[in-house]
């Protein structure tokens, strides 16, 4: 996500995907002379797209693979509005009453809707983790059964080896059978090593399953803590919306300024939570592809 100033110059960037290899120079090389209109997209290379989101004084250039969804565009515009309010500060000549109350109400509503979407995804994630944990537990039992089977086979191989050694000793005096018995002995040694190797591999896989189950338990605790934090923030926002018994201009200005800061921090926190949830989802999918 490239950030542009009012003149269209580079003002910074936000990396959402470490694997993204698009540079700002790549974007400039692809921009037409007339520039990009708000929400207009162009291709950069064969797969990547650049979508422009213009605000009052800043612009965001979202680099993505494929089309940007309408909900993502709306969220980007909200983030841009909050960023402008956070970075620009009071605008010269603006009303002494502070930001427009209707704008704040609209922004608060959008943040609440976005928070509800993230909360829903967070509530669904533990269920998915529980299903995965159950599947891991079943796989662990299956692996344990395989380990026990391999152990039994190893014991049988050892017994067979002991029996073969006795036969070798008994037939050692027979030159014609010596070559065949030696070949059988080598094959038994080879089979024993193969069984031992498989047993070690299964033990390693079982240990990884236990580690994954422990990680799932920690993640569930983090999701529950995030839910409680959401409820506390929503309660704070609802409290800030209630009108006071009397109206005082200075008090109203301070209240409005405080609400702006709360909304700004809440929007930035939601962006951070959504990015962490996306990374957790990617890690979860990668861990279960095998």
74 found inside a domain: no
Q: Return phi, psi of residue 65, to 5°.
A: -95, 110
Q: Do 58 and 156 sit in the same domain of this protein?
A: no
Q: What is the CATH number of the domain that holds 126?
A: 1.10.287.1490
87 found inside a domain: no
Q: Do 10 and 133 sit in the same domain of this protein?
A: no
Q: Do 12 and 124 sit in the same domain of this protein?
A: no
Q: Do 22 and 132 sit in the same domain of this protein?
A: no
256 found inside a domain: yes
DSSP 243: P
- Look up residue 223 and give its two tokens: 């999701």
Q: Do 190 and 240 sit in the same domain of this protein?
A: yes
95 found inside a domain: no
Q: Do 123 and 8 sit in the same domain of this protein?
A: no
Q: Do 153 and 282 sit in the same domain of this protein?
A: yes
Contact between 27 and 44 (Cβ < 8 Å): yes
Per DSSP, what are the bridge partners of residue 64? 49
pLDDT value of residue 178: 56
Q: Provide the residue-wise pLDDT of the chain in tens; the chain has 290 residues.
A: 888 888 888 888 877 777 778 888 888 888 988 888 888 889 888 778 889 988 877 888 888 887 777 767 777 777 777 666 655 554 444 444 444 556 556 666 767 777 788 888 888 888 888 888 888 888 888 888 888 888 888 888 888 888 877 877 776 666 555 566 677 778 888 888 888 888 888 888 888 877 877 777 777 677 677 667 766 766 666 665 555 555 566 777 787 778 878 887 887 888 888 888 888 888 887 877 75
Q: What's the count of helices (H) and strands (E) in the chain, helices before strands?
A: 5, 5
Three-state DSSP class for 65?
strand
pLDDT value of residue 115: 77
- What is d(CA 89, CA 81) in angstroms, rounded to the nearest whole number? 12
Q: Do 106 and 31 sit in the same domain of this protein?
A: no
Domain limits at 124? 101-287
How many structural domains is the chain composed of? 2
81 found inside a domain: no
DSSP 246: S
H-run or E-run covering 62: strand 59-65
- Residue 15 CB-density burial (10 A; 0-12 exposed, 13-18 middle, 19+ buried): exposed
């Amino acid at each position: 996500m490239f950030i542009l100033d009012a003149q269209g110059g580079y003002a910074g960037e936000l990396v959402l995907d470490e694997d993204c290899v698009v540079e700002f120079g790549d974007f400039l090389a692809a921009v037409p002379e007339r520039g990009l209109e708000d929400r207009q997209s162009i291709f950069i290379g064969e797969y990547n797209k650049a979508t422009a989101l213009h605000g009052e004084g800043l612009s965001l250039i979202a680099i993505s693979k494929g089309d940007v969804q309408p909900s993502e565009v709306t969220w980007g515009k909200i983030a841009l509005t909050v960023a402008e309010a956070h970075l620009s500060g009071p605008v010269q000549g603006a009303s002494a009453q502070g930001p427009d109350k209707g704008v704040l109400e609209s922004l608060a509503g959008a943040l609440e809707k976005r928070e509800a979407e993230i909360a829903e995804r967070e509530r669904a994630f533990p269920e998915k983790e529980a299903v995965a944990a159950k599947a891991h537990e079943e796989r662990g039992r299956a692996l344990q059964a395989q380990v026990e089977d391999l152990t039994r086979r190893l014991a049988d191989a050892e017994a067979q080896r002991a029996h073969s050694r006795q036969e070798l000793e008994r037939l050692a005096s027979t030159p014609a059978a010596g070559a065949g018995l030696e070949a059988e002995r080598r094959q038994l040694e080879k089979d024993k090593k193969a069984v031992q190797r498989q047993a070690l591999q299964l033990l390693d896989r079982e240990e990884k399953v236990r580690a994954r189950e422990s990680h799932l338990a920690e993640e569930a605790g983090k999701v529950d803590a995030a839910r409680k934090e959401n409820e506390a923030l929503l309660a704070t926002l609802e409290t800030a919306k209630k009108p006071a018994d009397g109206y005082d201009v200075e008090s109203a200005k301070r209240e409005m300024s405080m609400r702006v800061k709360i909304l700004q921090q809440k929007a930035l926190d939601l962006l951070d939570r959504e990015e962490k949830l996306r990374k957790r989802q990617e890690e979860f999918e990668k861990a279960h592809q095998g």
